[in-house]
C-alpha cells in the first residue's frame, strides 16, 4: 500500500506492507487530514519515524474482536494504551505511560491506504456526517476537550490566540459555552469564518504592535508559534488561566516571573473525547466543512504537506 512517511527527516510516499493487525481492526482509509502536528513532526518534532497522520475517516475491513464494525464507516481515537495501568483500567488511556499514538509515537498513522487500531478505539460515523466533516472529529475533540479541564461559565471572558484550524475550532466550541469569545488572528479570510453559519465570534487583528490588555479570564494559545505563549501572558488577567494547544519543533522561552507575580495557571491541553465531538457534528451544532482548503491524492502527499504549511491555508485533505 501507499503511505506518506517521514524517515530521518526525509518525507516521501512509499510502498509499504499492509499493516499486520495482531487482533486489532484493519481500516481502509477514505480521507485523512493534515494538521500542524504532522508538519512539525516532519521537521523533527517528537522524533517520530514512520507513517504520518492521525485525523481520518475510513471503513473497517476486518475487526476480529468486534465483528459488527466490519463495513462500518469510522473514525478512531489516536491513543492506544497498555491496558493494564490505572489510567487504562479507568477507561482513559490518553496519558498511559506505555501508550502508542497514531502517527505520532510508536504507531504508523493515517496518511496511508490502510491503518490498524484496536476496535475499542473506533467510533461509527453517523450517516448525516460527511467524510470531510468526519476528518475533523479528532481536532474538534481536542478543542472541545478544553472544557474537560476548565469550567467555562456564560460570563467567562475567553480569548483564542491564532486563526488557524485549531484556533477556529477552539473558538467554535467556546462560543457554545460563553458569548464572550474573542479570536485574535492575522488573516482576514480566516477570521471571516468565525462569523459564518451564525457563529458571531468577535475577531481582532493582532500584530507585534498590538497592545494586549490583561482582560481575559481564559486565554487559549493555538497560534502554532513560539511567540503565542508570550502574547497569551499579555492577555490574561491576574489569577487567570492560559491553555496551551500549540505543538511545534522548538523551545519556548518561559517568563516565570509574570506567571508567579500574577498567579497565572498554565495548562497543557492535548486530546479530547470523540463521542461529544461526533454529536456536535451530527446535531449540526458545529460546521467544519468550510475549513477545508484543498484535497490532494495520497500519491501527491509530499506536495500536499508543502501546501498545508503555507500561510493562509487551512485544512488540506488526502484521499486514497
The residue whose grid cell reads 469510522 is 74
CA-CA distance, 34 to 50, in Å (whole number)?
15
Instruction: Assign 259 to helix, strand or coil.
Output: helix
Each residue of 10-54: pLDDT tens digit?
999 999 999 988 899 999 999 999 999 999 999 998 899 999 999
The residue among 87, 167, 138 whose CA lies nearest residue 276 is 138
Inter-CA distances, 230 with 234, 254, 274, 282, Å: 6, 8, 31, 37
Each residue of 108-154: pLDDT tens digit?
999 999 999 999 999 999 999 999 999 999 999 999 999 999 999 99
Residue 4 has pLDDT above 90, yes or no: yes
Inter-CA distances, 252 with 42, 155, 246, Å: 19, 31, 11
Instruction: Assign 112 to helix, strand or coil.
Output: strand
Fold of 2-141+271-319: Quinone Oxidoreductase; Chain A, domain 1 (3.90.180)
Inter-CA distances, 34 with 14, 20, 42, Å: 17, 24, 11
Each residue of 229-275: pLDDT tens digit?
888 999 999 999 999 998 876 777 778 899 999 999 999 999 999 99
Instruction: Return the pLDDT at 37.
Output: 93
Q: Taking phi first (over 0 means left), then psi (-120 to 50 degrees means alpha), and beta for anything else, what does residue 71 get?
A: left
Q: Which stretch of DSSP H or E encloses residue 160? A: strand 158-161
| Domains of the chain, residue spans | 2-141+271-319, 146-268
Structural contact between residues 222 and 247, judged by C-beta atoms closer than 8 angstroms: no
Residue 62: how many CB atoms within 10 A of its CB? 15
CATH architecture of 146-268: 3-Layer(aba) Sandwich (3.40)
Amino acid at each position: 500500500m501507499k503511505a506518506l512517511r517521514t524517515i530521518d527527516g526525509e518525507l516521501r510516499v512509499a510502498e509499504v506492507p499492509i499493516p499486520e493487525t495482531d487482533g486489532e481492526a484493519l481500516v481502509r482509509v477514505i480521507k485523512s487530514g493534515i494538521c500542524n502536528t504532522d508538519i512539525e513532526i516532519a521537521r523533527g518534532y517528537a522524533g517520530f519515524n514512520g507513517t504520518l497522520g492521525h485525523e481520518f475517516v475510513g471503513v473497517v475491513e476486518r475487526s476480529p474482536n468486534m465483528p459488527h464494525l466490519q463495513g462500518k464507516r469510522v473514525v478512531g481515537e489516536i491513543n492506544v494504551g497498555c491496558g493494564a495501568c490505572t489510567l487504562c483500567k479507568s477507561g482513559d488511556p490518553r496519558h498511559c505511560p506505555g501508550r502508542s499514538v497514531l502517527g505520532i509515537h510508536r504507531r504508523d498513522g493515517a496518511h496511508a491506504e490502510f491503518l490498524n487500531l484496536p476496535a475499542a478505539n473506533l467510533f461509527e460515523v453517523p450517516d448525516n456526517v460527511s467524510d470531510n466533516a468526519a476528518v475533523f472529529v479528532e481536532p474538534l475533540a481536542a478543542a472541545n476537550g478544553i472544557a474537560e479541564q476548565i469550567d467555562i461559565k456564560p460570563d467567562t471572558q475567553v480569548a483564542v490566540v491564532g486563526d488557524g484550524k485549531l484556533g477556529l475550532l477552539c473558538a467554535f466550541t467556546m462560543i457554545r459555552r460563553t458569548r464572550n469569545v474573542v479570536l485574535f488572528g492575522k488573516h482576514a479570510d480566516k477570521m471571516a469564518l468565525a462569523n459564518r453559519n451564525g457563529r458571531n465570534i468577535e475577531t481582532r487583528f493582532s500584530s507585534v504592535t498590538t497592545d494586549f490588555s490583561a482582560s481575559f479570564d481564559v486565554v487559549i494559545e493555538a497560534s502554532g508559534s513560539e511567540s503565542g505563549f508570550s502574547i497569551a501572558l499579555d492577555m490574561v488577567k491576574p489569577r487567570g488561566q492560559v491553555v496551551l494547544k500549540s505543538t511545534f519543533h522548538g523551545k519556548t522561552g518561559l517568563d516565570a516571573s509574570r506567571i508567579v507575580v500574577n498567579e497565572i495557571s498554565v495548562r497543557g491541553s492535548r486530546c479530547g473525547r470523540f463521542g461529544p465531538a461526533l454529536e456536535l457534528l451530527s446535531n449540526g451544532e458545529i460546521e467544519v466543512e468550510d475549513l477545508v482548503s484543498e484535497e490532494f491524492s495520497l500519491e501527491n502527499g509530499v506536495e500536499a504537506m508543502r501546501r498545508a504549511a503555507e500561510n493562509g491555508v487551512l485544512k488540506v485533505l488526502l484521499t486514497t
